[in-house]
Amino acid sequence: MKKEIVKKIFNCFYSETEIKNIEIIPKNKFENGKWVTDNPAVFLKIKKKGNVDIVVCHEMSETLTKFTGCEFDVSFDFVSYFN
């Protein structure tokens, strides 16, 4: 999955939230005695106005994971909150 696609999908759901960083990590799984390519893991750091807590980030992660089939982990960028 490419970063541009991640941005488009994310903006469809959460247009009021800014992505600060995207990291896409390829994954493999062991299936029938062989290692095969699996869907990647996507890690997002976000900046959002208003209240953001771990529950909000978890709900975003779950929604994106269910929608795409890729593992998403959304976390709040606390450093950017103060900038």
pLDDT digits (tens, 9 = 90+) for 5-24: 999 999 999 988 899 999 99
**Under 8 Å between Cβ of 42 and 8:** no
pLDDT at 77: 78
Indicate whether this model's pTM tops 0.85.
no
What's the topology of domain 3-81? GMP Synthetase; Chain A, domain 3 (3.30.300)
pLDDT at 79: 61
Each residue of 27-71: pLDDT tens digit? Answer: 999 999 999 999 999 999 998 777 677 888 999 999 999 999 999
CA–CA separation, 10 and 45 (whole Å): 12
**47: its two tokens:** 């900046």
pLDDT at 48: 78
Task: Give the model's confidence band at 80: pLDDT under 50 very low, under 70 low, under 90 confident, else very high.
Answer: low
